[in-house]
Amino acid sequence: MIRAKLAPRALAAAVAAGCPAAALAESGWSQLNMPVGVTDISRKIYDLHMTIFWVCVAIAVVVFGAMIWSIFAYRKSKGAIPDATLVHNTKVEFIWTVVPVFILIAMAVPAARVLVEIEDTTKTELAIKVTGFQWGWNYDYLDQGVSYYSRLDRKSDAARELLSGVDPNTVPHYLLNVDHPLVVPVDTKVRVLITGADVIHSWWVPAFGVKKDAIPGFVNEAWFKVDADKPGLYRGQCAELCGRDHGFMPIVVDVRSKADFAAWLKEKAAEQKQAAAAPAQRRAPAAAPAVSPPDPGAAPASPAESTPAVVASAARSTAS
């Protein structure tokens, strides 16, 4: 009885804690399975997952079926006598070795095919460096001169404080919203170069089928290409336990039409160019302002936000 009452609550809590909002919108059995996603790769991963799942179901039915049937058909009460002279049978052993080998090969072929495709970062149209920080993400649009920091939105941040007095249920997308989402265009092969600045994080957006560790000193790469008819907001989270505020560094990707994205990028680049030039002009009004692409440790788009450098130094002081 107690279990019956607790189960839906536990499931709801697990879903609220771990699943992106897209999954929350769905209900029923679909919540128990992985999302199909909005990219070609995510659909291929889903199909592969379902293929392997049904292979496992078929194996389970055959193995457990034979086992249960044997237990019932040859039970002691029916007068079954154990065969004490059982010796190994080379033919049977050969069969139960060869059959699983073929099953594994049959599963490895489609799995390898999808894996090769996941790793194929050639012919990408846009490259973005993603740097994980304690606790947020920095996005660098390589070659476009746009770089900014993305962190938990202020409303969630205020509500999560102990004794904040704010009911989290009143906060839209509680703990799954950010101040500055990653903006990308639809129908464009986007390559993400993922690294970490302090500890290991993991950039995970289930709807794209992308989950890559952000490791300091290494650059991991992944790519996604969102379907042309699927612009929208897609949510993810850090998927590597990275410290105290690991649960408070969500990811939001704002997928826009190509025209919208181009306009946004132009505006953002101009804004950042102006911000970078302003202090230089104040220092040396006669000299031409030297504008260089912002480096990942530099100030983010909004000066009000915590800079990666500040966050990193705060992390160091916390750790020491």
| Interface residue list for Cu ion (CB under 5 A) | 201, 238, 242, 246
Least distance to Cu ion from the beta carbon of 77, Å? 57
Q: How far is the CB of 205 from Cu ion (least distance, A)?
A: 14
Least distance between Cu ion and beta carbon 215 (Å): 12
β-bridge mates for residue 214, sequence order? 201
The residue (of 126 and 251) whose beta carbon lies closer to Cu ion is: 251
CB 160 within 8 A of CB 245: no
Q: How many CB atoms lie within 10 A of CB 17?
A: 10
Q: Please confirm whether the linkage preceding 135 is cis (ω < 30° from 0).
A: yes
Q: Which residues pair with 236 in a beta bridge?
A: 251
For residues 235 and 230, give the distance between their C-alpha atoms in angstroms, rounded to a whole number: 14
Q: Is 113 helix (H, G, I), strand (E, B) or coil?
A: helix
Write out the E strands in 117-159.
126-133, 136-141, 146-150
Q: How far is the CB of 245 from Cu ion (least distance, A)?
A: 8
- 127 vs 152, beta carbon nearer Cu ion: 152
Paired strand residues for 226: 39
Give rounded-to-5 percent helix, strand, coil for the chain.
45, 20, 35
Residue 89 half-sphere exposure toward CB, CA atoms < 13 A: 6
Nearer to Cu ion, 238 or 276 (CB): 238
Pairing state between β 126-133 and 190-196 = parallel
Nearest to Cu ion of 201, 225 (CB atom): 201
Least distance CB 300 / Cu ion (angstroms): 19
Indicate the residue type of 106.
Answer: A
- Report the alpha-carbon distance of residue 251 to residue 311 in Å, rounded: 17
CB of 178 to Cu ion, least distance (A): 14
Q: How far is the CB of 237 from Cu ion (least distance, A)?
A: 8
Closer Cβ to Cu ion, 176 or 238, answer by number: 238
Distance CA 87, CA 77 (A): 25
Between residues 151 and 225, which has the closer beta carbon with respect to Cu ion? 151
Q: Which is nearer to Cu ion, 201 or 235 (CB)?
A: 201
